[in-house]
Amino acid sequence: MKTCLTNRRAFLRTTAGVIALPWMESITGAAEPTKSSSAAAKPPQRFVAMFFPNGVYPTAWQSQQTAAGLKFGGSLEPLQAFARHAVTFDGLNNPLTGHLGQVAGFLSGVDFAPDKNGIVTAATSLDQMLAQRWKNDTFIPSLHLALEPPSQGGFGNRPKSYGNSISWSSPTSKIEPQLSPRQAFDQVFFGQTEAGRLAAARRRRIVDAVWDQAKSLRSRVSSYDHAKLDQYLDSIADLEAKLDKAVNPQPRPWSPPQATKPQRPEQAGIPTSYREHMRLMMEIQLLALQTDSTRVATLVMGHEISRVVYDFVDKKLKRNHHDFSHHRNDPEKIEGYNRITRWFGEQAAWLLGKMQSIDEGGTSLLDNSIVLYGSGMKDGNTHEPLNVPVALFGSGRGQLKTGQHISAPQDSVLASLHLTLLRGFGIEAENFNGVTDKTISGLLA
């Protein structure tokens, strides 16, 4: 491992400055495939997760298989136009503890808990498994966006702040999603701009100087210390490799055929309008995928203990989302609950519509992606773990059989879906985080 990295660094140094920058052109203008790209290169597969909190009232999530295809009801109605791209399910369970467990384990199947040393441990999430696989092919391995800041205080005996993320890059590292549209934009695009390249080049100069100093140290310390010193050197080499990606982007076998001109959000900080905030975040996500800056993206549309008041959707909605979700079977509250969930459906529909309209050389961005839309519980009133609402949109470049509704066998868990998707992406895993080794039949093409 150590020699591998240090050799790689040497390799990168010798090839620096030789390669042109097709990347930059593809962002700001029409792209010309480079001479080294193959004309038959296929557009890459993407994975997107759009999560909404607090579940959905059972009758507000309907999907029926008819002769003419899937028919959606309730909060899925706004997505009817994409029925032939969709796969809906029933019978998938998410048996984790309450609000916090059901969001933290949504893409990993494992709840979070402190281990014997007190370190909070969960499991790597599906999106991160894919990100780690593809990280060398894109500028950033993954993009994580959210709209509501983490809540403070305790919920039961666990911190509420764990309700803000569905992504874990390792069993002990929860990923904090980005809330500010401008910072999210910079995260994706700054390093790909001239200024970003210059900044990376500057950092690289520092790294070079330190590397030389460190190497010369080897002969002056005890041989027992070489292993430790090598850890330090490997860490420098790792950063070097990252900076090189920015300074010398590699020629890519595939470039997006459509030109885009990303607009940096004018406003610093978080917009006061939730509606505007949501739209901005979805736009940035779209841009990131479209420019192939990343192939994995997640959007957490609300904190699990959501305090957001959706009076901008309907003036009558005066309580916050979490409050509505605990409807106690009051018809008025259920109506409000459904109105909010429907709004999420409308947002997803906007994004899918845009993805569908982006042509990537015969197939659309939607065709080439798999979008997982859903929540960690069914009826928010009881935090119902059975039959949670999840739907897939897009076939991931033909991997999935779309336009169908699948009834999973009894006692199926969400992790089975994740395992099936992993296999569909070509990752041979025997089981999913030790939760299950069963897949969902009939999903993969």
By CB under 8 A, name the binding residues for other proteins: 118, 148-153, 157, 161, 176, 179-180, 182-183, 198, 201-203, 205-207, 209-210, 212-214, 217, 220-225, 228-229, 231-232, 234-236, 238-239, 242, 268-270, 272, 303, 307, 309, 311, 318, 320, 326, 328-330, 381-382
- Residue among 39 and 268 whose Cβ is closer to other proteins: 268
Closest CA to 150 of 137, 139, 140, 164: 164
Nearest distance from C-beta of residue 25 to other proteins, angstroms: 23
Find the shortest distance in angstroms from Cβ 184 to other proteins.
11
| End-to-end CA separation in angstroms for the chain | 37
341 closest CA partner among 57, 50, 70: 57
For the CB of residue 107, give the shortest distance to other proteins in the complex, in Å.
21
Question: Which H or E element spans position 11?
Answer: helix 2-15
CB of 277 to other proteins, least distance (A): 11
Q: Considering the complex, what minimum distance in angstroms separates the CB of residue 9 from other proteins?
A: 12
When the beta carbons of 94 and 290 are compared against other proteins, the nearer one is 94
Least CB distance from residue 94 to other proteins, whole Å?
A: 16
Residue 170 carries which side chain, given as an amino acid letter? S
CB 303, CB 148: distance < 8 Å: yes
Closer of 38 and 213 to other proteins (Cβ): 213
Rounded CA separation 176/393 (Å): 25
Looking at the Cβ atoms of 305 and 417, the one nearer to other proteins is 305
CA distance 82 to 398: 16
β-pairing, 46-51 vs 369-374, is parallel
Nearer to other proteins, 154 or 434 (CB): 154
386: exposed, middle or buried (Cβ count in 10 Å: 0-12, 13-18, 19+): middle
> Toward other proteins, which CB reaches closer, 39 or 119?
119
Q: Helix, strand, or coil here: 413?
A: strand
Sign, Cα dihedral of 91, 92, 95, 101: negative
Q: How far is the CB of 205 from other proteins (least distance, A)?
A: 5
Gyration radius of the chain over CA positions: 23
Q: Which amino acid is at 276?
A: E
CB of 216 to other proteins, least distance (A): 8
Phi, psi of 141 (to 5 degrees): -65, -35
Of 238 and 346, CB closest to other proteins? 238
- When the beta carbons of 12 and 214 are compared against other proteins, the nearer one is 214
> Which residue lies nearer to other proteins by CB, 269 or 353?
269
Q: How far is the CB of 186 from other proteins (least distance, A)?
A: 8
CB atoms within 10 A of CB 9: 20
Q: How far is CA 391 from the centre of its chain?
A: 15
DSSP of 231-291: HHHHHHHHHHHHHHHHHSPPP-S---SS---PPPPSS-S--S-HHHHHHHHHHHHHHHHHT
